Amino acid sequence: MKALIIFNLSKTGGATLSAEIANILKNAGITPCIFGENIIYAEKVGAEVIESPEDCDYIITIGGDGTILRWGKYAADFDIPLLGVNLGRLGFMASVEKNEISKIPELLKGSHHISRRMMLNVELIREDKVIYSGRALNDITASRSSRSKLPEFVVSCGNTEVSRIRADGIILSTPTGSTAYSLSAGGPIISPDLECVEFTALCPHTLFNRPMIFSDKQPITARAYHYDNSKATISVDGGSAVPFEEGDVLKLTRCPKDLLLIEAGDGFFGSIHNKLLTPLK
């Protein structure tokens, strides 16, 4: 059995914690592996260098949710279960805290639950050409640029327009992303085993606004209509901003690949209780 260890280079202590995990894996008869930008730490970590993630049975990410968002797409490509170890602040998707790493071999050898997390294919179409494509595990945000006046955002499900609203922006999220930006904007928490797309407006200029839940069976599209030289951008999973011009079509469809996320303990709702509700008690 092989487990690929990926750690966030920007997080203090990532290499040291990776070395501790690698030693625990070896003692359990699991071969620790390292890949990509982390290979400069191969000797320190004590892991085998590999050429592709597909050579491993599991992926272990060490960092925050951003590390899982980045590497979760690779894990999904190869149908490899991913286990997150939290080295960030919240680490909502991570099942293991840094003081719990001794239980990793047990989790990898079967004492875990696999949560299938749907993703969305994202296309930005301009004059019938796809100028940007990507995948979202969390969300896609379309928002007005800094100091811009409010654009009008139009959202359609299939061929039917469902919302036309002037706002700071809109969020279209997966159930996994329902606990991220959408939650802060007033959206509901959605169980990750559901297959749907959530639409939440950001500071809409209206007295009447509610989040909506769409089926994943139809494409979701969004357009921006600019007012008085307003400008907008899109961002996928918190990535770099891409200009969202008038006439562009933002198209979302269900990705055929799911992330296989390893959960431990009380899983998704346990994380809600421990990481979102606890500060209120």
From residue 262, give the alpha-carbon distance in Å to each of 18, 39, 213. 18, 24, 26
Q: Which one is catalytic: 55, 57, 65, 248?
A: 65
Per-residue pLDDT of the chain (281 residues; tens, 9 = 90+): 999 999 989 888 899 999 999 999 999 999 999 999 999 999 999 999 998 989 899 999 999 899 999 999 999 999 999 999 998 777 788 889 989 999 999 999 887 889 999 999 999 999 999 999 999 999 999 999 988 899 999 999 999 999 999 999 999 999 999 999 999 999 999 999 999 999 999 999 988 889 999 999 999 999 999 988 899 999 999 999 999 999 999 999 999 999 999 988 776 777 777 767 665 44
Q: Of 166, 186, 164, 183, nearest to 175 (Cα)? A: 183
The domain locations on the chain are: 2-117+258-280, 120-254
What pLDDT sits at residue 246? Answer: 94
Active site residue 65: yes
- Which of 122, 32, 23 shows the shortest CA–CA distance to 73? 122
- The single-letter code of the amino acid at 68 is I
For position 146, what pLDDT does the model report? 84
Looking up tokens 């990410």, which residue turns up? 61
Both tokens of 6, joined, read 């990926």
Measuring CA to CA, which residue among 13, 59, 66, 68 is closest to residue 34? 59
CATH topology for the 2-117+258-280 domain: Rossmann fold (3.40.50)
Query: Are 144 and 203 in contact, with CB atoms under 8 Å apart?
Result: no
Please say whether the beta carbons of 146 and 256 come within 8 A.
no
Q: What is the pLDDT of residue 11?
A: 84
Q: Which residues contact 50 (CB under 8 A, 6 or more apart)?
A: 2, 4, 33, 34, 35, 56
CATH of 120-254, one of 1.10.10.10, 3.40.50.620, 2.60.200.30, 3.40.50.10190: 2.60.200.30
Whole-angstrom distance, CA of residue 167 vs CA of residue 47: 49
Angle at 132 between CA 131 and CA 133, to 5 degrees: 135
Helix (H, G, I), strand (E, B) or coil at 272: helix
